[in-house]
Amino acid sequence: MDQTVFAQFIEQLHRYVRDRLIPAEPQVIADDAVPPEIVDEMREMGLFGLTTPEEFGGAGMNIPQYVETIRVLSHAMPAYRSTASINLGMVCSALKNGGTNAQKAEWLPRIATGEIACFGLTEPGSGSDSAAMATTAKADGDGYILTGSKRYITNAPQAKLGLIMARTHAETLPGNGHVSAFLVPMDSPGVSVSKPDRKMGQAGSHIADIYLDEVKLPGAALLGGVEGRGFATAMQSLDNGRLSVAAASCGYARRMLDTALRYATERKAFGEPIAGFQLIQAMLADSEAELYAAECMLKDAAERANQGKAILACASAKLFASEMCGRVADRCVQIHGGAGYLAEYEAERFYRDARVYRIYEGTSQIMQLVIAKQMLRDFAAGAQG
């Protein structure tokens, strides 16, 4: 997208977040759902197709533009980002990078116009450990039969399309070659979705289990038309997903800090605003410094991802930004004091909402492993060179 056009879009998005999305938050919380009219507005604004190439009806944003959009959108509560982010990051990325021409032509225009998608990797017995994946895809003539289940799948109750990972080989192959990716219409016979799980926070954002009971798919459902590339596709998509979580962490942390700053200037103790107390100032200052660092990391990681060299940067940005967001949330509650523990104030909700960012798209501990392993690979390659 042209940078001038993008700047105009971001200005419009800022207004939409401030004037429409934030005022609607009490309704989202009460209904545990984003109002249908807001979802329709998001479709009309093109928010589901920002990263889809223009030839397929999208805006053709590059990765830095996409990441900045998510950061701005995430100043409002997380449910809005969750509604569109799987389309924008993970599924669109997988189709662009790994889909056949026919798959792109069929699905990219549909997700760009707002057919909600989901991404099925995690299972009851496996998450980051793909060797333990139990969902199978057995060859059946020219197609496949999928059997298994997926857990904690964002947008599963609303999704029209699922990008589902499954074993196409019983044995564990090097490079996770036993895992393939499938484009699964969610209305396919044999696909069912559980009731949404009750969660600690993030009202209006739904996760649920997906059950696959001998789901028959044509061979054209295999992403890219080649077996054994599913895990690599998932990992490439997860880079975008991790940048999205990092951007969400930065956007929401900025909202928290603004709220804490406002409360500190309004709340009085001992005859003066608590913002005048140095220990309150220390919490505000630490939050600003950490948030600034995370925002800088986010921009750099997005630029590196745009150049195709991003595993280390994306994992580092996600790790630091999500942990930072948790610390800012904690300080926001602390600055509110007793009021921070009450549902009447936003600080309590911020604290619950922020916690999952250290788990989404790979826990902080998995990010540490990803970073360390990439460092060791880079060192070994340098030593050999």
Closest CA to 350 of 335, 365, 362, 361: 335
> Residue ranges of the domains in the chain?
3-115, 118-227, 232-384
Domain spanning 118-227: which superfamily? Answer: Butyryl-CoA Dehydrogenase, subunit A, domain 2 (2.40.110.10)
pLDDT of residue 29: 97
Backbone angles phi, psi at 124, to 5 degrees: -55, -30
Q: Does domain 232-384 have CATH number 3.30.1460.30?
A: no
Q: Kindly list the catalytic residues.
A: 361
pLDDT tens figures, 90-128? 899 899 988 999 999 999 999 999 999 999 999 998 876
pLDDT of residue 42: 96
pLDDT tens figures, 47-102? 999 999 999 999 999 999 999 999 999 999 999 999 998 898 889 989 998 899 99
Closest CA to 72 of 342, 254, 263, 260: 254
Residue 103: half-sphere exposure toward Cβ, Cα within 13 Å: 26
pLDDT tens figures, 141-194? 999 999 999 999 999 999 999 999 999 988 888 878 889 999 999 999 999 999
State the Cα angle at 39 between 37 and 45, rounded to 5°. Answer: 105
Q: How confident is the model at residue 131 (pLDDT cuts 50, 70, 90)?
A: confident
CA distances from 204 to 79, 217, 341, 353 (A): 5, 31, 21, 11
Q: How confident is the model at residue 237 (pLDDT cuts 50, 70, 90)?
A: confident
Q: Which of 264-268, 276-280, 315-319, 357-361 has the lowest mean pLDDT?
A: 357-361
pLDDT tens figures, 316-369? 999 999 999 999 999 999 999 999 999 999 999 999 999 999 998 889 999 999
pLDDT of residue 311: 86
Question: pLDDT over 70 for what percent of the chain?
Answer: 99
pLDDT tens figures, 202-218? 999 999 999 999 999 99
Q: How confident is the model at residue 41 (pLDDT cuts 50, 70, 90)?
A: very high
pLDDT tens figures, 25-36? 999 999 999 999
Question: Residue 338: is it exposed, middle or buried by C-beta count within 10 angstroms (0-12/13-18/19+)?
Answer: exposed
Q: Which amino acid is at 237?
A: S
Alpha-carbon distance of 313 to 273, in angstroms, equals 40
DSSP 167-219: ESSSSPPGGGTTEEEEEEETTSTTEEEPPPPP-SS-TT--EEEEEEEEEEE-G
Structure tokens at 127: 């998450």
- The answer to whether residue 385 scores a pLDDT higher than 60 is no
Closest CA to 193 of 235, 244, 159: 159
Alpha-carbon distance of 69 to 44, in angstroms, equals 16
- The answer to whether residue 1 scores a pLDDT higher than 90 is no
Which strand (E) or helix (H) includes residue 119?
Answer: strand 117-120
Instruction: For the chain, give the mean pLDDT.
Output: 93
Q: What is the CATH number of domain 3-115?
A: 1.10.540.10
Mean pLDDT of 214-237: 88
pLDDT of residue 231: 75
pLDDT of residue 128: 66
